[in-house]
Amino acid sequence: MGDIAITVKSLSLTRQRSARHVKEWVIDRFIYLNAWLAIAFIALIFIFVAREAIPLFYEPAAKAEVGWGRLFLAQNYGTAEAPLPYVWQPISTEPKYSLMPLLLGTLKVTIVAMMLAVPLAVGAAVYTAEFAPGWVREVIKPAVEMLAGFPSVVLGFFALIVLASWLQDAFELDFRLNALNAGLALGLAVIPIIYTVCEDALGSVPRKLREASMALGATRAETTLRIVLPAALPGIFAGVVLGFGRAIGETMIVLMASGNAAITSWNFSESVRTLAATIAAELAEVVFGSPHYRVLFFIGTVLFLFTLGINSLGAWMIGRWRRKLTGGA
């Protein structure tokens, strides 16, 4: 009798266990699939974009019009007195597809944005994480993070109407819309990204490190500068890299605030045209399958590889720092 009861009980237990096991397995697979699905989507998007771009290099029509040399090297456009080596003029009797003004423009805007955003965001993060009293932190942190949810079209509009006039009046610039104007607005969009990551990085530095430093007689400023900042450096670097990626890919702000003239010069007060803004401005109109269409997808591929490269570089450097910090200490 008793034996049977025990057997029945253990049977129902195993059944319960196996049911739970199945459920767990299903959930596990589901999450696993989701993770891979995200990667698969990105890969598929990349494949699609690249597939539209690649015929640029073998289709006869595209080859005649574009080619590597025309994309990147100096050409003899313009006249002998006024040579124009790098020109982006896709709608023309002789279409000109030099990517150099676009690359330079993207770089200029990004440099301005990073020069504004990095010191401000890292400074704000250090202040809120290390020095600010609790209530100040409770105000600043959500306020800065809210800036991340700001629609970029609003920032762009602000730069187009207000900021551009201020800058022009203050510095008597030739171009009302220019790299400086777009870069500053872009910086506002990048600040919250860098700030959030930096703040988390500083917060995750163990208390023990700070306490040990203080116990050895270091001041709060010395502790922050010599102990906490170096320890959080990988995280800060990750924030900067993420911000850089956002700055390169951001479209709406630069489209509205930069003037979009494809000029090749290092003058930051001149108008610029960026890679992302070019795609946004021109893709809707282009004839499908034309060389121009292929070039725009090629730009998309370049942007994709750019950000991928930058993020990988960031990840690699973070890994090295971390090893150094843990292994070396």
* CA dist., res. 261 & res. 263, Å (int): 6
CA–CA distance, 258 with 299 (Å, rounded to integer): 19
Q: Does 7 bind other proteins (CB under 8 A)?
A: no
Asked if 288 contacts 62 with a C-beta cutoff of 8 angstroms, the reply is no
CB closer to other proteins, 186 vs 255: 255
Provide the 10 A C-beta neighbour count for residue 186.
32
Of 236 and 255, the one with the shorter C-beta distance to other proteins is 255
Q: Which is nearer to other proteins, 260 or 301 (CB)?
A: 260
Which tokens go with 96?
């000109």
Token couple for 43:
């890969």
Kindly give the pairing relationship between strand 83-84 and strand 96-97.
unpaired
Contact criterion met (CB below 8 Å) for 129 and 210: no
Please give the Cα distance from 73 to 96 (Å, whole number): 12
Contacts with other proteins by CB under 8 A: the residue count is 37
Shortest gap between Cβ of 300 and other proteins (angstroms)? Answer: 16
Sole window of 19-27, 82-90, 109-117, 236-244 interacting with other proteins (rule: CB under 8 A): 82-90
Q: Whose Cβ is closer to other proteins: residue 26's or residue 91's?
A: 91
Asked if residue 248 lies in contact with residue 106, where contact means CB atoms within 8 angstroms, the answer is yes
Residue closer to other proteins by CB (options 173, 190) is 173
The length of the chain in residues reads 329
In the bound state with other proteins, the residue whose beta carbon lies nearer, of 89 and 311, is 89
Q: Is residue 64 within the footprint of other proteins (CB under 8 A)? A: no
- The two tokens of residue 63 are 């080859």
CB of 63 vs other proteins, minimal distance in Å: 17
- The site string for other proteins over 139-178 (x = CB under 8 A, - otherwise) reads ----------------------x--xx--x-----xxxx-
Q: What angle do CA 280, 310, 100 make, to 5 degrees?
A: 50
3: burial class by Cβ within 10 Å (0-12, 13-18, 19+)? Answer: exposed
Binding to other proteins, residues 86-105 (CB under 8 A): 87-93, 96, 101
User: What residues from 236 to 295 belong to the interface with other proteins (CB under 8 A)?
Assistant: 255, 259-264, 270-271, 273, 281-282, 284-288, 290
Using CB under 8 A, list all residues that contact other proteins. 82, 84, 87-93, 96, 101, 161, 164-165, 168, 174-177, 255, 259-264, 270-271, 273, 281-282, 284-288, 290
